Each structure stands twice: as structure tokens, then as C-alpha cells.
């Protein structure tokens, strides 16, 4: 009996994390048992408690409480990992169990998954090009009620596909076996996402040969919630990024690494920022002339891969329109504040965006060239520079910021050290917290300033501890 009590005491952090995850999933379990489908599910932020229409406050507090407890336990698991989860097998088993619970949760703070399903269905069932014809236009043309198209958020209903051609192809393949049932399609997407999450954790372990990076990625509450519960497509992009890192670090195959980054970019455009850092690391032992020559070949390979994938959907240059669509929207970003301050002066905002982009391009090019001619390039140093540029891109250049965009940095974050890692973890918590406040409580807070301010406060409170936090032993 005493041994059992001691075991429970030692594993209490893991037990609490699992219990909170279960209670997070419990409303979804009850709903699915009662309704057997998600077609009529419209609870959004009134998910935990059934309340008057539009009253989200109590539910938002519950969501904030769940995330806060999960993050507290998450930090404790990272800190005490050697006592709690001693072997990679135990880590994998625990990650899989927690991931299954988050996979059960019905998407209720984002409807992007229904846009993925609908765009795939318009291509698979109606035979239209999602870059040319929107979901709303398909409904207008055929004049029929199709449950695969009905749950798309209004903001996306008449927008054409905004993602790359590989995602269009993946979506089409996945929904083609859904039998025209939106719940079945959701299950398929969720099962694939669950598999991708596990594979990503395996790739991280194969690259690093350490337990900590697996835990950093595999149990992060924002990753679990946004990618498994809300089913954002960032998992697929992350997979190809990690695959590229695996090829360049473990297999020493730059050709396959560039191909993988090309596939990632064909889902979302952001990984193009990582390409030079991958290539430079791959040619780091070559003479400068050979470095430049190999870089040129890699560019040709990358452009060729993108050309082949885009040719599957190319009818005219509107196929690239989606790359810029998000920049015409203003929400939860630095430019949203400027939009308010300038009273919606679009002309001036466009000039400021071009100026910001130009300055970013100059800084980015300087860092890339400096790394290219450097005598010594390490993976840590290269990714440290990349992560700084990616954070600047995400928080300064993007006009329509969403909390799950921070997931872009996680594939390379796990290769950083101490203070940098902890700041990103704080940032992931605060962005989700700010999302709850801004959208669920309907408070007109300056989202961008709140995120930066709260992250700074958390870092200041923890000042002096970051060097000790996440210090990895030689064997682990």
C-alpha cells in the first residue's frame, strides 16, 4: 500500500496533467455520445457550460483555467522529467495517451478544419479547382445543401484556397474517402493529425537522441489543442520541416532536405524562410565557391519542386493569390494597432507594410550572407538566427495574426537552449491566453501589446532561473 502511495505521489504531476486533459475532453465525449455527429455542433466558446446565446465569459474562464493548469504541469514535467518519465518508451506512451484525449475534443475555437474539408470536397466531388472557385460559388452553382460545405465559416465561404498545392492535394485525398459525411471527414483528418503528431515526436527523437525535445514538443498544450483539437494543418508543415532537418543532420543528404522544405512550403509559405539556413548548414564544410555553387543547385531543385506541385492546379496566376490574401486582413497584430491608429488609412498602411518588408528583407539577407561565408556554422547557431527572424516575421510583418501561428517556431525551437526555449514556451501560453480574452470575453484589448507585455513579465518573474531550466544532461 505504501509503495502504491509513493508511486502516486511521485507521479502526481503526470496524473494531474492527464486528468485535466480528460476533463478538457469530457464535454466532447458527452456531446458525441448524445448526438453521434458534429454536424449541428455550433457551441464555439459556449462549450463547457450551456449558457445564453453570446455569453462566453464563464466558458472563457474555464478555458483559461484549463490552459493555466496544463502549462503549470507541463513545466513541472519538463523540470522533473528524469524522475517522472525515465525512458523514451515511457515518454512515447504518455504522449500518445494525452494526444488521444486532445484528438477527441471537438473543434470549438476555430472552424478552419471545415474549410479544409470543404475545399477538398469541391475538388474531389464537384471537380472544380479550389484556386479558381470558392465553396460559396460551388453552392451557388449547384444550388443544393451539402453538409460537407455547410460548416465553413462565413469569412472563408467566398474566399478561394489560400494554402499551397500540396495541401490542396492532401485535403482532396482525405475527404475522398469520407463518403460525403462531414463527421467522417473530421475523424479522418483527426486520425491523420494524431499520427502526424506521433511521427513528429519520433523524428525529433531521431534527430536529437534526447528525451527533452520530445517532451517540449509532444506535450505542449498549445500544440495539442490547436493541432489535435482544432486540427490546423500546421502539423503537416512541421512534419516536412522535421524531415528536412533529419535528412540534413542525420542522413547528410541535402538533396532530400531541400525537397522536404519544398514540400513544407507547398502547404504554407512560411518554411521558405528556413530554406537558406538548411542549405547553409548542409554546405558548411565546403569551400566558399562550392558553397555558392551547391546553393545555386538547391535553388533550382526547390523551384522545380514548387513548379511541379503548382502545375497540378495552375490555370492562371490567380493560383498565387492566396499567398497574399491574409495580408489584406487586419486582426490581432502590430498592423491592426496601426490600422486603428491611422483610422483605416489603407494607402498609408500599404506603404508601411512595404517599408517593413523591405527592412526585413535587408536584415534577413545580411544574416544569410554572413552565415554563408562564416568559417564555422553550427545547427544551434543557425536555428537561433532563423528563429529570431521567424519571430520578427510573425509578430511584425503578418497583419492577420492567429495564436496557432506560433506553432511555426516549434520544429526548430527544440534545438535551442535554456532561456530562448523558455521565452518561446511563455509566448505560446500567453498567445493562447490573449486569444481567449480577445475573442471569448469580447474585450477590446490591444492583442499584440498584451502578448509582448505578458511574456516580458513572465520572463522577468523567472529572471535568473532560465539557465538552470531545461538543462539537459549528457545522457538524456
DSSP class of 315: S
Are 394 and 403 spatial neighbours (Cβ–Cβ below 8 Å)? no
Query: Looking at 200-344, which runs of residues are DSSP E strands?
Result: none
pLDDT means over runs of 10, the chain (476 residues): 59 94 94 90 80 71 91 93 88 96 94 94 93 91 85 88 93 94 96 96 94 94 95 94 96 96 95 96 93 95 95 79 70 82 86 93 96 90 92 89 89 84 89 82 68 76 57 48
CA distance 57 to 45: 9
Q: pTM for the full model? A: 0.93
CA distance 279 to 408: 19
pLDDT for residue 72: 94
94-127: burial string, b at 16+ Cβ within 10 Å, e else: bbeebbebbbbbbbbbbbbbbbbbbbbbbbbbbe
Q: What is the largest CA-CA distance in the chain?
A: 72
pLDDT for residue 473: 43
CA-wise closest residue to 344 among 353, 355, 335, 356: 335
pLDDT for residue 435: 83
pLDDT for residue 333: 81
DSSP class of 178: S
Cell numbers representing residue 402 in the block = 492567429
pLDDT for residue 474: 41
Are 216 and 71 spatial neighbours (Cβ–Cβ below 8 Å)? no
DSSP class of 475: -
With both helix axes pointing from N to C terminus, report the angle between 57-79 and 211-218 in degrees, rounded to the nearest 10.
180
DSSP class of 145: -
Q: Where are the domains of the chain?
A: 2-461
Which phi and psi angles does 414 have, rounded to 5°? -65, -10
What is the per-residue DSSP string for 372-415? Answer: HH-S---HHHHHHHHHHHHHHIIIII-SB--GGGGGGGHHHHTT
Amino acid at each position: 500500500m505504501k509503495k502504491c502511495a509513493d508511486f502516486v505521489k511521485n507521479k502526481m504531476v503526470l496524473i494531474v496533467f492527464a486528468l485535466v486533459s480528460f476533463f478538457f475532453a469530457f464535454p466532447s465525449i458527452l456531446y458525441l455520445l448524445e448526438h453521434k455527429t458534429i454536424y449541428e455542433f455550433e457551441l464555439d466558446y459556449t462549450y463547457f457550460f450551456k449558457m445564453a446565446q453570446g455569453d462566453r465569459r464563464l466558458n472563457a474562464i474555464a478555458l483559461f483555467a484549463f490552459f493555466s493548469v496544463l502549462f503549470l504541469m507541463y513545466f513541472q514535467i519538463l523540470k522533473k522529467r528524469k524522475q517522472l518519465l525515465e525512458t523514451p518508451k515511457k515518454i512515447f506512451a504518455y504522449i500518445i495517451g494525452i494526444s488521444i484525449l486532445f484528438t477527441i475534443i471537438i473543434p470549438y475555437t476555430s472552424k478552419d478544419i471545415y474549410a479544409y474539408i470543404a475545399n477538398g470536397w469541391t475538388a474531389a466531388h464537384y471537380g472544380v479547382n479550389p484556386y479558381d472557385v470558392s465553396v460559396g460559388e460551388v453552392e451557388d452553382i449547384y444550388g443544393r445543401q451539402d453538409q460537407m460545405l455547410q460548416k465553413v465559416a462565413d469569412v472563408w465561404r467566398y474566399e478561394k484556397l489560400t494554402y499551397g498545392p500540396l495541401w490542396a492535394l492532401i485535403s482532396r485525398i482525405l475527404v475522398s474517402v469520407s463518403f460525403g459525411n462531414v463527421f467522417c471527414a473530421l475523424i479522418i483528418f483527426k486520425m491523420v493529425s494524431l499520427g502526424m503528431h506521433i511521427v513528429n515526436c519520433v523524428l525529433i527523437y531521431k534527430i536529437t537522441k534526447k528525451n527533452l525535445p520530445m517532451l517540449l514538443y509532444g506535450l505542449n498544450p498549445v500544440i495539442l489543442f490547436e493541432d489535435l483539437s482544432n486540427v490546423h494543418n500546421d502539423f503537416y508543415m512541421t512534419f516536412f520541416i522535421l524531415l528536412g532537418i533529419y535528412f540534413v543532420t542525420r542522413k547528410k543528404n541535402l538533396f532530400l532536405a531541400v525537397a522536404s522544405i519544398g514540400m513544407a512550403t507547398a502547404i504554407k509559405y512560411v518554411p521558405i524562410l528556413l530554406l537558406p539556413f538548411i542549405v547553409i548548414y548542409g554546405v558548411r564544410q565546403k569551400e566558399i565557391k562550392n558553397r555558392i555553387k551547391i546553393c545555386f543547385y538547391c535553388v533550382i531543385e526547390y523551384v522545380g519542386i514548387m513548379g511541379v506541385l503548382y502545375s497540378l492546379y495552375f490555370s492562371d496566376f490567380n493560383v498565387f493569390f492566396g499567398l497574399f490574401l491574409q495580408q489584406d486582413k487586419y486582426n490581432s497584430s502590430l498592423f491592426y494597432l496601426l490600422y486603428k491608429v491611422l483610422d483605416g488609412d489603407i494607402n498609408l498602411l500599404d506603404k508601411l507594410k512595404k517599408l517593413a518588408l523591405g527592412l526585413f528583407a535587408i536584415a534577413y539577407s545580411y544574416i544569410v550572407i554572413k552565415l554563408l561565408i562564416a568559417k564555422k556554422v553550427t545547427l544551434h547557431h543557425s536555428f537561433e538566427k532563423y528563429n529570431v527572424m521567424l519571430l520578427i516575421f510573425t509578430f511584425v510583418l503578418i497583419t492577420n495574426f492567429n495564436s496557432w501561428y506560433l506553432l511555426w517556431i516549434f520544429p526548430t525551437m527544440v534545438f535551442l537552449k535554456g532561456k530562448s526555449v523558455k521565452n518561446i514556451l511563455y509566448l505560446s501560453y500567453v498567445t493562447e491566453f490573449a486569444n481567449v480574452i480577445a475573442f471569448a470575453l469580447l474585450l477590446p484589448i490591444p492583442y499584440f501589446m498584451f502578448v509582448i507585455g505578458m511574456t516580458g513579465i513572465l520572463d522577468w518573474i523567472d529572471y535568473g532561473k532560465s539557465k538552470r531550466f531545461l538543462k539537459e544532461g549528457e545522457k538524456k
